[in-house]
Structure 1
Amino acid sequence: MTVALAVLVLGERLRTVQWVAVGCGAAAVVVLTVAYGTLPWIALVLAGSFGTYGLLKSRLGSRVGALPGLAAETAVLAPAAVLYLGWLHLTGSATFAPDWHGLALVGTGVVTAVPLLLFNSAARRLPLSTVGLLQYLTPVLHLAIGVLVAGEEMPPARWWGFGLVWLALVVLTVDGLRHSRRPAPGAEGPVPPPSDA
């Protein structure tokens, strides 16, 4: 979704190798959708909303720093959060208590804010298409946690889907490394000192 917004809305151009990575990622989505058996609409809505968030951060980030931007976002959402907390309290559904559960709940603010600050900072400095391709790291980390930590079963179709995601990441990484080592167009080497001859 993020790469689509970068290309369609911002007119960013992708190199051929980046298109290959996008194709691998799209194929992974198709494989996982077919294996799931139905359209994963919740995942698509999340991808669309986060892609739109990345687009806004990419465009507004040059005018607003990462910390002030996150503060503004929090200020906009705070009234809705306060109303929801008030409703939970009035209905007796609130469960916040000054114990380990309450401390863990408060700690999630820090655990959420730090990655958002880092994302906001990166979204200001990178092309949106690159941000979109890098977001394929998330499903890989989810897979690692699910299989290695939670001991979840992995059907073959999921291995194929994630294999395509890994292939996209490898292609993107290799292309990024190759591209970062090239001199910028029009850049010249160091100017030799004038000779005394």
Structure 2
Amino acid sequence: MRDETKGVLAMIAACSVWGLSGIYYKALDHVPPLEVLCHRTLWGFVFFLVVLGIQGRLRAVPRTIDTPRKFAIVLTATLMISLNWFVFISSIHFGHATEASMGYYIFPLTAVLAGAIFYKEKLNRPQMISVGLAAIAVIILSAGLQVAPWVALILAFSFAVYGVVKKSLDTGPVVSVTVEVAILSPFALAWLVVIHSGGTGHFGADAVTTIMLMVAGVITAIPLILFSYATRRVSLATIGLVQYLNPTLQFLVATLVFRELFTLWHAIAFALIWTALAIYTASSLRRGRALRKAARAAGTSGTT
């Protein structure tokens, strides 16, 4: 099997875990979202340490924050990813999984917008149209439901800012996320001590819940490891296409498994977002082909 094929399969596996994880967190909806987040953080940290220890990469962890600038970047990323995780778990807990899937659909478009704001990256016409259509979708849904889709917006923008700040780090995703959960772990542990002291903690209450809280860390770590494996073997264009599997599975789980309300306003908004993504993806693919063609032409001229 070729490395590229292995990379695509790893990316599909990662997106499948992310896309279906709502089913797992729904089974934990008797546990408060903050408590689930704390266990997800702590057990994820343990799992990452084991993986990096086996790979002999533990020394890379402190180097990620060995300067004030790096620490500030990682701290910002930590705040964004913890907010993202908490809102996602809460969306499943309180019946807003459809809105959560919308957030991950519009994330690539908010990432483009964040790049323009923070890195002064110029938007081409298809990107501007795509961002505009996504904005119209949010406005229509807000007007139709008489409330803004805050879950979708928070998920999209927190993940976009997370990606933007991590763009300036030269550390791999597994090592950087290990540092992020390491920063969060003392706070997670402190909160768990508080709730267990008050007799309201769920860890240890029954075997199934206890095991599921521990495995929450594993299902956090495994897709990130698979994603890291995939990014080293396949093109960014392929990753961009395959990553839509994640919100698509989330959407199907929300509407077909959880049977959440899906109104005409949702249908209009999602149709606009899917159109925006089609325009954005087509533009990205054309640009990628043009860059590869130019690179091949430059390589050919260089050998003559």
> Fold match, TM over 0.5?
yes
Q: Is the 8 A contact 1:136 1:165 kept in 2?
A: no
Match of 2:212 in 1: 104
> In angstroms, what is the RMSD of aligned CA positions?
3.4
Paired position in structure 2 for 1:188: 298
Matching residue's letter, 2:194: W
| Secondary structure of 2:119 counterpart | coil
Which residue of 2 is the match for residue 52 of structure 1? 161
Deviations 1:20-42 (A, max 9, x none): 21112111111121122123445
Map 1:18-167 onto structure 2 (within 5 A): 18-60=127-169, 63-97=170-204, 99-117=207-225, 118=227, 139-167=247-275
The size of the alignment, in residue pairs, is: 187
Structure with larger RCO (C-alpha < 8 A, sep 6+): 1
- Runs of 5+ in structure 1 lacking a partner? none
For the pair shown, which has the larger CA radius of gyration, 1 or 2? 1
* Alignment partner, residue 8 of structure 1: 117
Give 1:72 shift. 0.7
Change (3 A) 1:134 1:50: farther
Q: 1:33 touches 1:39 (CA, 8 Å); kept in 2? A: yes
Cα distance, 1:67–1:39 mapped onto 2, change above 3 Å: same
CA distance in 2, matches of 1:145, 1:15: 34
Structure 2: how far apart are the matches of 1:42 and 1:77? Answer: 22
Q: Which residue of 2 aligns with 1:168?
A: 276
SS at match of 1:92: coil
Identity %: 33
In structure 1, C-alpha distance between the alignment counterparts of 2:155 and 2:174, rounded to whole Å: 23
* Matches of 1:65 and 1:106, distance apart in 2: 24
Unpaired segments ≥5 residues, structure 2: 1-109
**Deviation, structure 1 residue 134:** 9.3
Change (3 A) 1:36 1:142: farther
The 8 Å contact of residues 141 and 149 in structure 2, kept in 1 or not, is answered as no
- Could you tell me how far 1:87 is from its partner in structure 2? 0.5
